[in-house]
């Protein structure tokens, strides 16, 4: 039974809760390493002063010293450390690698039994550590040995939770093989091992590759632990890759060498004239005063600084996930070191995994950080849905309006929009061409169409991607001519890159553009239904567009903004538009209407009989009671919740994906907004 639940997602990152016998912790989390005999800062202070939630210590070290072993056996590892919060123990794998100990030094079964004996919350198997520079043949042997030990160990865990480490060195296919095999075993946490040497050699790109390779095959309802990741400049990118647990002794090791951890890298105290930090340690002293401290006092001050900085960055990561801003944070951190930037570039080349996991329906603004912005999951998904779901595929004229997107299109192209409203889509389509790609007028308010902030000077790679997206959309539409409004914008120059045999007329003013449309008829009264159809299909697929054809359907516009506010039928609200996303939220009547037009099964979540009554009363749909959900369903979608005979119970927002709904037995699957009996 899993002890993990998800509260929010961003990319592959999960804002979650993990429950142990000694309390529930929030993920992603960092576990400072505690040496049972050397830690200057007590485990209590790790929590009470610095704000950490959990620590990790080494069962091999405890077992190797009589004074530690006897007390741990008598009082448990919590008694040994005088600590009431969750504790994870390592098995000694890293010590065997670091000290080049013989294989028989630690018995894999005995170390599991010892961890159970000292009542750790999470024990760890003894895996076989693969150095990055060894050949494939040796790594294959290490993977095989790790799996053999895993199979021997997992059945011995009893009430102790246990971590099964994924190995495979730098070989992505071996990481996949290891993760596939380990994922079939009932581990509670899945560490990714063997990466410390990669970190020490700044091989961050390799860490990205092996982490993504492992993540493909690990159970989604279990936390992933990136063993030995303790530098704050790595946290954001590692969390974005889907790592939930981190641990490290870096705070102490770096301090002993006079080094300070920062979110932008590491600095030597001896080189500083100012302390570039606002933590309690640095705020109460100066660089010269700290440099003048006795050796032990200096090391303690640096340890405290390193802990404060690390804890703050982990909080920042969790908040960024909640805000949908983790990609930006990771991109900013990547600028602190070329090797991190290379790792980010590797990640953007493997964006499919992030797109698959990233939640739909975000509302946060997107700030340009570099060429990677154009391939962010939110932007990619928008383009993909326009390609596959935009309803208007045949027209006479396409108007293309280049735009930076810094102001609403209703301000920058109001005259053109007013005229397009008078035309049917078969006569004219209006497309805004921004650095993120093509935004059809009908979807101008759908996130992230007008939430992307780009500079006026856009990099060539972003423009190349925008041009490709324009070409792809034009290839899906049958039309006679393009009217290109040639005005100041980074994307204006893309008119010279069109590769099709198109008839293109360039204009330099709104009036000249409008003149290309011919005679304007009286203003149509159903332009808003045109917009409604596009949003319905963008959100729920082809059949959902039929709602716009229902006799009596009406759109209520906001008096202050002129945007669609409600959709009604016979004076009853079917849908409300969320201002921050431009998407529709269905009421119960709206849900029934979507069922009538047979929307795709992707957006239907079926509950078990025992939970149906609670959902019908407005309670959240819990994952453990989900009977069926589509593997194509993404977190963040507006869904319909049904009982086992397909009666509508409620409508709401999916907090996790369909696959996760089936896998998880903890947490909320759908946050119900409207229900039958509420």
- Decide if 261 contacts 309 (C-beta within 8 A): yes
Query: In 3-state terms, what secondary structure has residue 277?
Result: coil
| Residues forming beta bridges with residue 453, ordered by sequence position | 367
The SS3 of residue 301 is: helix
Q: Which residues contact 293 (CB under 8 A, 6 or more apart)?
A: 301
Residues 6+ apart with CB under 8 A from 398: 428, 429, 430, 431, 474, 477, 479, 481, 482, 483
Q: Which of 48, 82, 90, 127 is the catalytic position?
A: 90
**Cβ-Cβ contacts under 8 Å for 372 (sequence gap 6 or more):** 327, 331, 344, 345, 348
C-alpha 100/C-alpha 324 separation (Å) is 43
* Residue 41 backbone dihedrals phi, psi, to 5 degrees: -95, 125
Q: What is residue 495's DSSP assignment? A: G
Task: Please provide residue 447's backbone torsions phi and psi, each rounded to the nearest 5 degrees.
Answer: -60, 135
d(CA 185, CA 193): 17
Identify which of 113, 137, 142 has the alpha carbon closest to the alpha carbon of residue 125: 113
C-alpha–C-alpha distance, residues 638 and 660, integer Å? 16
Q: How long a stretch of residues is the chain? A: 678
How many Cα atoms are found within 13 Å in the side-chain-facing hemisphere of 294?
2
C-alpha–C-alpha distance, residues 149 and 604, integer Å: 42
Tokens in use for 378? 């939110």
The sheet with strand 604-607 has its strands ordered as 621-622, 668-675, 648-654, 638-642, 604-607, 626-629
286 Cβ neighbours under 8 A, 6+ residues apart: 274, 275
At what angle are helices 377-389 and 460-474 packed, to 10 degrees? 20
The DSSP bridge partners found for residue 87 are 55
Rounded CA-CA distance 546/149 in Å is 57
Residue with tokens 């050699």: 201
The angle subtended at Cα 526 by Cα 525 and Cα 528, nearest 5°, is 120
Q: Which helix (H) or strand (E) holds 338?
A: helix 338-348
Check residue 84 and report its DSSP letter.
Answer: -
How far apart are alpha carbons 661 and 676 in whole angstroms?
22
- H or E element, residue 347: helix 338-348
User: Annotated catalytic, 90?
Assistant: yes
CA distance 473 to 466: 11
Q: In degrees, to the nearest 5, what angle opens at C-alpha 426 toward C-alphas 424 and 429?
A: 80
Active site residues: 90
């Amino acid at each position: 039974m899993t002890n993990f639940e998800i509260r929010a997602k961003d990319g592959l990152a999960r804002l979650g809760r993990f429950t142990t016998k000694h309390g529930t912790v929030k993920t992603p989390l960092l576990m400072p390493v505690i040496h049972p005999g050397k830690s200057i800062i007590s485990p209590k202070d790790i929590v009470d002063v610095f704000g950490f939630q959990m620590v990790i210590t080494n069962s091999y070290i405890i077992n190797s010293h009589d004074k530690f072993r006897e007390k741990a056996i008598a009082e448990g590892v919590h008694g040994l450390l005088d600590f009431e919060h969750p504790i994870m123990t390592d098995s000694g794998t890293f010590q065997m690698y670091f000290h080049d100990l013989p294989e028989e030094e630690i018995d894999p079964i005995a170390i599991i039994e010892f961890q159970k004996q000292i009542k750790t919350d999470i024990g760890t198997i003894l895996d076989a550590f693969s150095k990055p520079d060894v050949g494939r043949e040796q790594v294959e042997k290490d993977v095989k040995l790790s799996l053999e030990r895993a199979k021997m160990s997992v059945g011995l865990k009893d009430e102790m939770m246990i971590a099964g480490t994924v190995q495979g060195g730098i070989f992505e296919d071996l990481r996949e093989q290891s993760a596939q095999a380990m994922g079939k075993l009932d581990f509670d946490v899945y560490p990714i091992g063997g990466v410390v040497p990669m970190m020490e050699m700044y091989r961050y790109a390799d860490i990205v590759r092996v982490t993504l390779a492992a993540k493909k095959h690990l159970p989604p309802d279990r936390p992933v632990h990136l063993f030995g990741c303790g530098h704050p400049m790595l946290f954001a990118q590692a969390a974005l890759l889907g790592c939930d647990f981190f641990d490290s002794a870096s705070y102490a090791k770096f301090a002993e060498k006079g080094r300070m951890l920062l979110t932008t890298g590491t600095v030597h105290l001896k080189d500083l004239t100012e302390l570039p930090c606002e933590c309690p340690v640095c705020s109460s002293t100066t660089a010269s005063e700290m440099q003048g401290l006795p050796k032990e006092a200096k090391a303690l001050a640096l340890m405290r600084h390193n802990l404060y900085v690390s804890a703050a960055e982990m909080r920042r990561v969790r908040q960024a996930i909640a805000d949908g801003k983790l990609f930006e944070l990771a991109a900013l951190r990547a600028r602190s070191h070329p090797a991190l930037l290379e790792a980010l570039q590797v990640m953007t080349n493997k964006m499919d995994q992030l797109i698959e996991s990233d939640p739909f329906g975000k509302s946060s603004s997107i700030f340009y950080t570099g060429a990677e912005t154009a391939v962010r999951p939110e932007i990619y998904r928008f383009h993909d849905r326009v390609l596959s779901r935009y309803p208007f595929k045949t027209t006479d004229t396409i108007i293309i309006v280049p735009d930076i997107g810094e102001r609403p299109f209703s301000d920058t192209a109001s005259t053109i929009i007013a005229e397009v409203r008078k035309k049917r889509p078969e006569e004219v389509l209006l497309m805004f061409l921004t650095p993120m790609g093509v935004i059809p007028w009908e979807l101008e308010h759908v996130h992230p169409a007008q939430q992307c902030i780009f500079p006026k000077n856009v990099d060539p790679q972003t423009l190349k991607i925008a041009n490709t997206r324009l070409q792809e959309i034009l290839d899906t539409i049958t039309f006679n001519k393009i009217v290109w409004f040639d005005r100041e914008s980074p994307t204006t120059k893309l008119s010279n890159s069109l590769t099709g045999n198109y008839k293109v007329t360039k204009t330099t003013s709104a009036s000249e553009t409008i003149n290309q449309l011919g005679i304007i008829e009286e203003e149509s009264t159903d332009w808003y239904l045109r917009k409604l159809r596009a949003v319905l299909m963008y959100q729920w697929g082809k059949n959902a567009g039929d709602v716009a054809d229902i006799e009596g359907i009406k759109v209520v516009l906001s008096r202050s903004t002129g945007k669609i506010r409600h959709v009604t039928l016979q004076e009853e609200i079917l849908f409300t538009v969320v201002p921050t996303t431009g998407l529709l939220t269905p009421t119960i009547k709206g849900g029934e209407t979507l069922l009538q037009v047979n929307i795709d099964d992707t957006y239907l979540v079926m509950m078990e009989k025992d939970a149906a009554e609670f959902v019908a009363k407005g309670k959240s749909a819990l994952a453990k009671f989900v009977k069926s959900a589509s593997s194509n369903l993404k977190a963040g979608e507006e869904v319909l919740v049904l009982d086992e005979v397909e009666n509508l119970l409620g409508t709401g927002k999916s907090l996790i994906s369909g696959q996760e709904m089936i896998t998880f037995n903890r947490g909320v699957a759908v946050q119900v907004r409207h229900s039958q009996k509420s």
